[in-house]
Structure 1
C-alpha cells in the first residue's frame, strides 16, 4: 500500500462493488483511477481498476463495452501525470490536467478504429500515433 488517504465515496462504492453503473461516468472513472493509484502501486491499482470496470460492464448487461486498451491507457496516463507533478488532492490534480476529463484524450496516441477494435477490448494495444 502506498499513501493511505481518504477515499472518495465513489471509490469506496467501486471497491465494495456497490456502485450504480448509471452514475459511473468519465469523471468518476478518473476519480477512481486517481484514488486507486494513491492507495496501491501501479500494477495492483491497474488490476483492481480493470477488474472493477469489467464487472460493472457485465453487471450492466454490456460486457462488450469493456475495453482493456482504454482502461490501461487512461490508468497509465493518470499515473504518469501524478508522478511528474505535485498536487494537493483530486481537484487540484484535475485543475492541472483538464485534458484527462475528456474521453477523447487518447486520440492523441491512438487511431479511433484501433482504440475501439475488438482486439483493443480484450488485450492492451500499444499506441499507433506519434
Structure 2
C-alpha cells in the first residue's frame, strides 16, 4: 500500500461510479471491499461493490475483466474474515490477511479453467465443478 491510501474515499468513489481505474491494485480492491462491507449489510455491500466494479471495468474499456464468481468469492472471504477477526481498520485487515493478496489464492476453491470461464463471468458459481456435488464440496471431498 502506498502511504496515504484512503480506502474509504476509494470506496465512496467506487459506489458513486467515479473511481478511476488507474492504480486500482488488488490490494486496493480488498481495501475497498473491507470499507464497503464494514459500512453495509453484507448483501447490500456486495451489490454496491459488484455494481461499482462492473462500472469501473466498463469505464476502463475492459468489461470482459469483470468476473461475477471471482468478485463474490473475494467479497465472501473478506466478509468471513471480518466477522471472525475483529479488525480495527482496513490496514489491520489487509496486514492480517496477506494470503488474500497472493496470486492464485482462489485456486484453493476453484480450478483455473472454472475461474476463467464464460460461466463465472456471468454468474456466481458457488461449488467448484470438480467437486462433483454440493454434498461432496461441503464434506471436503
Q: Same fold (TM over 0.5)?
A: yes
* 1:12-51 equivalent positions in 2, closer than 5 A: 12-51=12-51
Q: Which runs of 5+ in 1 are unaligned?
A: 1-5
Asked if structure 2 preserves the Cα contact closer than 8 Å seen for 1:27 and 1:101, the reply is yes
CA distance in structure 1 between the aligned counterparts of 2:107 and 2:69, rounded to whole angstroms: 12
**Alignment correspondent of 1:116:** 116
Q: Secondary structure at the match of 1:27?
A: helix
From the superposition, tell whether residues 67 and 73 of structure 1 become closer, same or farther in structure 2 (CA, over 3 Å): same
**How many residues are aligned here?**
125
Which entry has the higher C-alpha Rg, 1 or 2? 2
Q: CA RMSD in A?
A: 1.6
**TM-score, length basis structure 2:** 0.82
Segments of structure 2 that go 5 or more residues without pairing to the other structure are 1-5, 132-139
Relative to the length of structure 1, the TM-score reads 0.89
CA contact (8 A) 1:26 1:103 kept: no
Distance 1:18 1:51 in 2: 12
Return the offset for 1:124.
0.6
Moved over 4 A (4+): none
> Which SS does the other structure have where 1:22 is aligned?
coil
